[in-house]
Amino acid sequence: MAPNSKPPVVKIMDYGKFKYEAAQKAKEARRNQANTVLKEVRFRLKIEAHDYTTKLKRAEGFLKAGDKVKAMILFRGREQSRPEQGVRLLRKFAEDVAEFGTVESNPTIDGRNMVMVVAPLKNKSEAKAEQNAVRDAKKQAARDAKAPGAPADPAAEAE
């Protein structure tokens, strides 16, 4: 409604349709909302190279998806007297995932555990939008491949 115009202008609309469209917009906004989750990766101080790379790949996947990663080292027995080795391992982990995330909190000792949090470089909604775009592109490519007999050259079809 525009009451200040001469003559006043009013738009007549279907209120039920208006409410329905507003509800659909709210539903879409909720669907696209993304919550950042804190995922956890646990190490032991004496971890083998293959196990380390497996945990590293898992953490990279979490960071690519836009989740924070909590790297935790579990100390047992005499290992507790060597926290510098735990710091060294977590620093190595931070260097290896630097491509996907940044260290949010430096290594701290929490009882028998040493904890470090790594935050992703891109937030959850950006990562989700990127994944949706890749998925949609794959679907479109699959549909194009299934299209029956679509000629590549329209001139060839005319002859």
pLDDT band at 149 (very low <50, low <70, confident <90, very high): low
- Whether 143 has a pLDDT exceeding 70, the answer reads yes
Higher pLDDT: 19 or 12? It is: 19
Question: Does residue 58 fall inside a structural domain?
Answer: yes
CATH value at residue 70? 3.30.110.10
Per the structure, the complete domain to which residue 79 belongs is given by: 38-124
Question: Does residue 81 fall inside a structural domain?
Answer: yes
- Whether 32 has a pLDDT exceeding 70, the answer reads no
Question: Does residue 139 fall inside a structural domain?
Answer: no
pTM for this entry = 0.61
Question: DSSP assignment of 72-122, as one string?
Answer: EEE--GGGGG-HHHHHHHHHHHHHHTTTTEEEEEEEEEETTEEEEEEEESS
Question: Does residue 112 fall inside a structural domain?
Answer: yes
Q: What is the pLDDT of residue 34?
A: 65
pLDDT digits (tens, 9 = 90+) for 67-108: 899 999 999 888 888 889 989 999 999 999 989 888 988 888
Number of domains, the chain: 1
Interior/surface letters 78-99, b for 16+ CB within 10 angstroms, e for the rest: ebeeeeeebbebbeebbeebee
pLDDT digits (tens, 9 = 90+) for 33-55: 666 778 999 989 888 999 999 99
**Once rounded to an integer, what is the mean pLDDT over residues 134-143?**
87
Question: Does residue 14 fall inside a structural domain?
Answer: no
d(CA 68, CA 60): 10
- Whether 12 has a pLDDT exceeding 80, the answer reads yes
Q: What is the pLDDT of residue 1?
A: 64
Question: Does residue 90 fall inside a structural domain?
Answer: yes
Q: What is the pLDDT of residue 56?
A: 93
Q: What is the pLDDT of residue 151?
A: 53
**Once rounded to an integer, what is the mean pLDDT over residues 6-26?**
87
